[in-house]
Amino acid sequence: MSAAAAARRILTRLHEVMASRLHAQGKLDHVVDIIAESLNSEVCSIYLLREGMLELFATQGLNAEAVHVTRMAIGEGLVGTIADNVETLNLAEAKAHPDFQYRPETGEEKFHSFAGVPIVYRERAVGVLCVQHVDPRRYEDVEIEALQTTAMVLSELISNNELIDEEEARGLAPADTGPATISGLPLVKGLASGVAVYHQPRITIDQVMAEDIEVERQRVYRAFDKMRDQIDNLSDRAEFGVGGEHEEVLATYKMFAYDEGWSRRINEAIDAGLTAEAAIERVQQRTRMRMREIDDPLLQDRMHDLEDLANRLLRIVSGQLGTAATQGLRGDAILIAKNLGPAELLEYDRRRLKGVILEEGSLTAHVIIVARAMGVPVLGRVRGLRGIVQEGDFVLLDADNGTATARPAQPVIDAFETRFARSRKRQAFYAELRDIEPFTRCGTRIEVMMNAGLRDDISTLPLVGADGIGLFRTEFQFLVSATLPQRERQFRLYRDVLDAAGDKPVIFRTVDIGGDKALPYLRESEFENDENPAMGWRALRLALERGGLLKAQARALLEAAAGRSLYVMFPMVSEPWEFDAAKAVFDDQLAHLRKQKKILPEAIRYGAMLEVPALAEVLDQFLPRVSFLSVGTNDLTQFLFAADRANPKLAERYDWLSPAILRFLKRVALATAGSGVDLGICGEMGGRRLEALALLGLGFRRLSITPVSVGPIKEIVRQIDLRELEKAMQGWLSAPPENMRAAIAEWANERGIETD
Position 369 contacts ligand PEP (CB under 6 A): yes
SS3 state at 302: helix
> What residues contact 71, with CB distance under 8 A and at least 6 apart?
50, 53, 54, 55, 56
Nearer to Mg ion, 516 or 611 (CB): 611
Contact criterion met (CB below 8 Å) for 382 and 163: no
Numbers of helices and strands, H then E, in the chain: 29, 22
Using CB under 6 A, pick the residue from 635, 692, 740, 753 that binds ligand PEP: 635
Nearer to ligand PEP, 46 or 682 (CB): 682
Position 453 contacts Mg ion (CB under 5 A): no
Longest dimension (CA), the chain: 99
Using CB under 6 A, pick the residue from 271, 447, 512, 559 that binds ligand PEP: 512
Q: Candidates 15-23, 551-559, 575-583, 628-636: pick the segment binding Mg ion (CB under 5 A).
A: 628-636
In the complex, the smallest distance separating the C-beta of residue 472 from ligand PEP, rounded to whole angstroms, is: 11
In the complex, the smallest distance separating the C-beta of residue 296 from Mg ion, rounded to whole angstroms, is: 39
Residue type, 238: A
Q: Looking at the DSSP assignment, which residues form a beta bridge with residue 394?
A: 195
Q: Closest Cα partner for 301 from 252, 267, 268?
A: 252
How long is the chain? 756
Contact criterion met (CB below 8 Å) for 390 and 121: no
Residue 369's binding partner out of Mg ion, ligand PEP, none, with CB under 5 to 8 Å set by partner kind:
ligand PEP
Q: Closest Cα partner for 399 from 354, 442, 366, 433?
A: 354
In the complex, the smallest distance separating the C-beta of residue 648 from ligand PEP, rounded to whole angstroms, is: 17
In the complex, the smallest distance separating the C-beta of residue 468 from ligand PEP, rounded to whole angstroms, is: 16
Angle between helices 24-38 and 141-159 (to 10 degrees): 170
Position 186 contacts ligand PEP (CB under 6 A): no
Nearer to ligand PEP, 67 or 373 (CB): 373
Using CB under 5 A, pick the residue from 61, 171, 632, 687 that binds Mg ion: 632
Q: Closest Cα partner for 579 from 553, 548, 615?
A: 615
Position 143 contacts ligand PEP (CB under 6 A): no
Quote the strand ranges of 382-502, DSSP E: 394-398, 403-406, 447-452, 469-473
Position 473 contacts ligand PEP (CB under 6 A): yes
Residue 682's binding partner out of ligand PEP, Mg ion, none, with CB under 5 to 8 Å set by partner kind:
ligand PEP
Residue 691's binding partner out of Mg ion, ligand PEP, none, with CB under 5 to 8 Å set by partner kind:
none
In the complex, the smallest distance separating the C-beta of residue 538 from Mg ion, rounded to whole angstroms, is: 9
In the complex, the smallest distance separating the C-beta of residue 682 from Mg ion, rounded to whole angstroms, is: 8
Position 516 contacts ligand PEP (CB under 6 A): no
Backbone angles phi, psi at 271, to 5 degrees: -55, -35
CA distance 149 to 31: 12
Position 611 contacts Mg ion (CB under 5 A): yes
Using CB under 6 A, pick the residue from 682, 690, 705, 744 that binds ligand PEP: 682
Nearer to ligand PEP, 273 or 341 (CB): 341
Contact criterion met (CB below 8 Å) for 198 and 390: no
Using CB under 6 A, pick the residue from 285, 634, 706, 709 that binds ligand PEP: 634
Residues 449-468 that bind ligand PEP (CB under 6 A): none
In the complex, the smallest distance separating the C-beta of residue 682 from ligand PEP, rounded to whole angstroms, is: 5
In the complex, the smallest distance separating the C-beta of residue 687 from Mg ion, rounded to whole angstroms, is: 15
State the Cα angle at 131 between 291 and 213, rounded to 5°: 65
Which long-range contacts does 317-326 make (Cβ < 8 Å, 24+ apart)?
Answer: 317/219, 317/220, 317/223, 317/276, 317/277, 317/280, 318/203, 318/205, 318/277, 320/201, 320/203, 320/204, 323/199, 323/200, 323/201, 323/347, 324/197, 324/198, 324/199, 324/200, 324/201, 324/348, 325/199, 325/349
In the complex, the smallest distance separating the C-beta of residue 10 from ligand PEP, rounded to whole angstroms, is: 58
Nearer to ligand PEP, 208 or 461 (CB): 461
Per-residue DSSP letters for 661-695?
HHHHHHHHHHHHTTSS-EEEE-SGGGGSHHHHHHH
Query: How far is Cα of residue 360 from the mean position of the Cα atoms in its chain?
Result: 6
Q: Candidates 217-225, 409-417, 579-587, 604-612: pick the segment binding Mg ion (CB under 5 A).
A: 604-612
Residue 633's binding partner out of ligand PEP, Mg ion, none, with CB under 5 to 8 Å set by partner kind:
ligand PEP
> What string of H, E and C letters represents the secondary structure of 130-162?
EEEECCCCCCCHHHHHHHHHHHHHHHHHHHCCC
CA distance 117 to 36: 14
Using CB under 5 A, pick the residue from 108, 145, 530, 635 that binds Mg ion: 635
Residue 683's binding partner out of ligand PEP, Mg ion, none, with CB under 5 to 8 Å set by partner kind:
ligand PEP
Nearer to ligand PEP, 510 or 633 (CB): 633
Residue 729's binding partner out of ligand PEP, Mg ion, none, with CB under 5 to 8 Å set by partner kind:
none
Q: Closest Cα partner for 357 from 234, 502, 195?
A: 195
Nearer to ligand PEP, 27 or 538 (CB): 538
Q: Candidates 73-81, 476-484, 615-623, 627-635: pick the segment binding Mg ion (CB under 5 A).
A: 627-635
Residue type, 687: G
Residue 404's binding partner out of Mg ion, ligand PEP, none, with CB under 5 to 8 Å set by partner kind:
none
Q: Candidates 336-344, 393-401, 633-641, 694-702: pick the segment binding ligand PEP (CB under 6 A).
A: 633-641
Region of 518 please: left (phi>0), alpha (psi -120 to 50) or beta.
Answer: beta
CA distance 35 to 13: 10
Position 695 contacts ligand PEP (CB under 6 A): no
In the complex, the smallest distance separating the C-beta of residue 476 from ligand PEP, rounded to whole angstroms, is: 9
Q: Looking at the DSSP assignment, which residues form a beta bridge with residue 601?
A: 562
Nearer to ligand PEP, 145 or 635 (CB): 635
Contact criterion met (CB below 8 Å) for 473 and 452: yes
Contact criterion met (CB below 8 Å) for 185 and 380: yes
Residue count, binding to Mg ion (CB under 5 A): 3
Each residue 592-631 as x (binds ligand PEP by CB under 6 A) or -, in order, gives: -------------------x--------------------
Nearer to Mg ion, 209 or 609 (CB): 609
Backbone angles phi, psi at 53, to 5 degrees: -115, 150
Contact criterion met (CB below 8 Å) for 108 and 1: no
Q: Candidates 225-233, 252-260, 272-280, 635-643: pick the segment binding Mg ion (CB under 5 A).
A: 635-643
CA distance 24 to 57: 10
Nearer to ligand PEP, 121 or 494 (CB): 494
Position 706 contacts ligand PEP (CB under 6 A): no
Give the helix ranges, DSSP H, for 39-140: 77-85
In the complex, the smallest distance separating the C-beta of residue 571 from Mg ion, rounded to whole angstroms, is: 6
Closest-approach residue to Mg ion (CB): 635
Q: Closest Cα partner for 106 from 147, 138, 77?
A: 77
Residue count, binding to ligand PEP (CB under 6 A): 11
Closest-approach residue to ligand PEP (CB): 632
Q: Candidates 143-151, 484-492, 607-615, 669-677: pick the segment binding Mg ion (CB under 5 A).
A: 607-615
Contact criterion met (CB below 8 Å) for 329 and 354: no
In the complex, the smallest distance separating the C-beta of residue 606 from ligand PEP, rounded to whole angstroms, is: 17
Residues that bind ligand PEP (CB under 6 A): 369, 471, 473, 512, 611, 632-635, 682-683
Residues that bind Mg ion (CB under 5 A): 611, 632, 635
